[in-house]
With several copies, the nearest count.
Chain A
Amino acid sequence: MEEKQARTNKLRTAEEAIREMVPNPCPVLAVGGMHQQNAPMSLVRELIRQRVRIGRLITSPSASIQADLLIAAGLVEEIVTSYVGFEYLGLAPAFRRAVEAGTLRLVEADAPLLVYGLQAAAAGQPFATLPPGLELSDVHRAAPAFYKWTTDPYTGVPALCVPPLRPTVALIHCQQADEFGNAIFRGSVFTDRLMAMAAERTIVQVENVVRASSLYSMATQVGLPAALVAGVVEQAFGNHPCASHRYYNHDEPHLKDYVQKGGTAEGMAAYLQRYVYEPDSHDEYMLRVRTDTPDSFTSPSL
């Protein structure tokens, strides 16, 4: 019988979490967040500072700066995504430049490839099928190593399939967690919970840590149990320039600036320098943000 010991505390700084829990190179990395929402940017910036090379990057059905910045930093070999862009703010500068230049291998995907691929990995299923009709799009023809056909054993007709997507590590954000890794989503869950269920290891970036004992009366709102979480990084405002549902909105002027200045390689290098490499702390990062785009970062209206 083992010795009595305390339950493991999973709290880490971003620096510790990336160093201890993400292999370099990382074969398959999933990064959470959808459009401008709930992207774990503190972890993303730390990945870049530690120069973690990513064999394959898997995104949510619609990623923005959390994918674009990793590409800008030259860390991504292949991306499996159904969307990298800034919605009403424009195209993703680094993603666009890298795909057009042929320096990034793109696996053209649609949303169901990502969702059913992650589900299959979480479930241990060998593959998943797509509803008939999706084959009318050219998407599957552009990624024939991922979209494959088999025979429907019930009807004999061909069925289009997607493979399991099993991230080595998933980096996601949620609003709160306790020190053991029980994680609470205070808004949309997007594909973030699913990524954690599919990944071998998950690091959760949160706005604030809560007491474990507070969970017992609200367990149906705890979206991930500790058993699925390897590390918890507490970083208030850590999603900036993206939003954290219920906590703060995205920083629109900052993102506009990114999309515009990132349009050139020099502008992007300057952005990385000023906002990723130079700040030696999140406080220093936020000070630069507040200086460069004052009053642009606000709380949500709800």
Chain B
Amino acid sequence: MNQPLSFFTAPKKEPPFSSNELLAYNLALALRDGEVVLTGANNALPVAACRLAQLLHAPNLSFLGGGGGSVNSLVEPLVFPSCDYSYLAAEAVLPLPELIMLQGRPGFINTFFAGGMQVDQFGNCNLSSIGPDWQQPLLRGPGAASLPFMSRFGRTIIYVSAHTPRIFVPKVDFITGPGFLHGAVDFARAQQVLLADGVEY
């Protein structure tokens, strides 16, 4: 209080949370009670968000935790591999073929978390191939997994940690996960894109 606050002179103080914690918190705020949430691969942050939402305001939220098939896992501590055995400390475990079957079930998956090597202005995601010709990719990505089901989910929350023009492109080279395609007119279903810093558009 005695010392004036200044960028240069303020004592080096850690914020009481990490940026990942802040991101998880913001993702949690976007989740609603009663939803069924699919967290996909690379899902540590979405899983943290789902658990937080359950504890805060969404006790009836259910989340599917990766290809291992867990539902409402207690996984503790959080681990990076989405199919880790520790996820099976859960309320239920579905075999993967059924998990994929239920991704097509009308109205079942309310919210999905996605990302991509490229994300465009209409929320399309590319995890397949960078370059003008997918048959001769400049950069080959890992592949589609379940991303094409984005068209059937209630909404998709896209979160991207690295905010670079290489990722945020006007138009993806390959639509792995369909967003609004070439504009909202193309795609009547409501979707939501939430950036890592919490800005929604």
| Chain A residues in the interface with B (C-beta under 8 A) | 1-8, 34-37, 60-62, 81-85, 87-88, 91-92, 95-96, 99-100, 102, 106, 108-112, 115, 119, 122-125, 130-131, 133-134, 136-139, 142, 178, 180, 182, 187-191, 193-194, 197, 212, 215-217, 219-220, 222-227, 243, 245-246, 249-250, 300-302
B184 located at the interface, meaning its Cβ lies under 8 Å from any Cβ of chain A in the complex: no
List A contacts of B141 (CB < 8 A). Answer: 85, 91
B86 located at the interface, meaning its Cβ lies under 8 Å from any Cβ of chain A in the complex: yes
> Contact at A194–B105, with CB atoms within 8 Å?
no
| Contact indicator per residue, chain B 25-58, by CB within 8 Å of chain A (1) or not (0) | 0000100110010000110100000000000111
Give CA–CA (A191, B36) in the complex, Å: 22
Which one, A36, A124, A138, A250, contacts B174 given CB within 8 A? A138
> Contact at A137–B89, with CB atoms within 8 Å?
no
> Contact at A111–B68, with CB atoms within 8 Å?
no
> Contact at B91–A225, with CB atoms within 8 Å?
yes
Stretch in B9-17, B162-170, B175-183, B193-201 with 4+ CB within 8 Å of A: B175-183
Q: With contacts A82-B143, A119-B101, A136-B187 known, what are 20 further pairs, Cβ within 8 A?
A: A2-B57, A62-B41, A96-B140, A115-B96, A115-B101, A123-B104, A131-B149, A131-B152, A182-B92, A189-B95, A190-B67, A193-B95, A197-B101, A219-B70, A219-B93, A222-B93, A227-B108, A245-B68, A300-B86, A301-B86
List A contacts of B119 (CB < 8 A). Answer: none
> Contact at A134–B94, with CB atoms within 8 Å?
no
Residue of A nearest to B62 (CB): A227
Interface of B, secondary structure class, is: loop
| Contact indicator per residue, chain B 91-117, by CB within 8 Å of chain A (1) or not (0) | 111111110111111101000000000
How distant is B105 from chain A, measured CB to nearest CB, in Å?
6
Interface of A, secondary structure class, is: loop
Give CA–CA (A115, B148) in the complex, Å: 14
List B contacts of A92 (CB < 8 A). Answer: 142
> Contact at A85–B96, with CB atoms within 8 Å?
no
Known A115-B100, A225-B72; contact A87-B85, beta-carbon cutoff 8 A? no
List A contacts of B151 (CB < 8 A). Answer: 133-134, 136-137
Known A1-B57, A91-B142, A139-B148; contact A35-B83, beta-carbon cutoff 8 A? yes
> Contact at B58–A2, with CB atoms within 8 Å?
yes
> Contact at B89–A111, with CB atoms within 8 Å?
no
> Contact at A137–B96, with CB atoms within 8 Å?
no
> Contact at B104–A88, with CB atoms within 8 Å?
no
Residue of B nearest to A215 (CB): B91
> Contact at B144–A108, with CB atoms within 8 Å?
yes
Give CA–CA (A82, B80) in the complex, Å: 20
Which one, B56, B71, B134, B145, contacts A62 given CB within 8 A? B145
List A contacts of B181 (CB < 8 A). Answer: 136
Residue of B nearest to A191 (CB): B96
> Contact at B81–A134, with CB atoms within 8 Å?
no
List A contacts of B137 (CB < 8 A). Answer: 99-100
> Contact at A3–B104, with CB atoms within 8 Å?
no
How distant is A210 from chain B, measured CB to nearest CB, in Å?
12
Which one, A87, A102, A109, A190, contacts B41 given CB within 8 A? A87
How distant is A129 from chain B, measured CB to nearest CB, in Å?
10
Which one, A83, A108, A125, A188, contacts B104 given CB within 8 A? A125
B18 located at the interface, meaning its Cβ lies under 8 Å from any Cβ of chain A in the complex: no
How distant is B26 from chain A, measured CB to nearest CB, in Å?
12
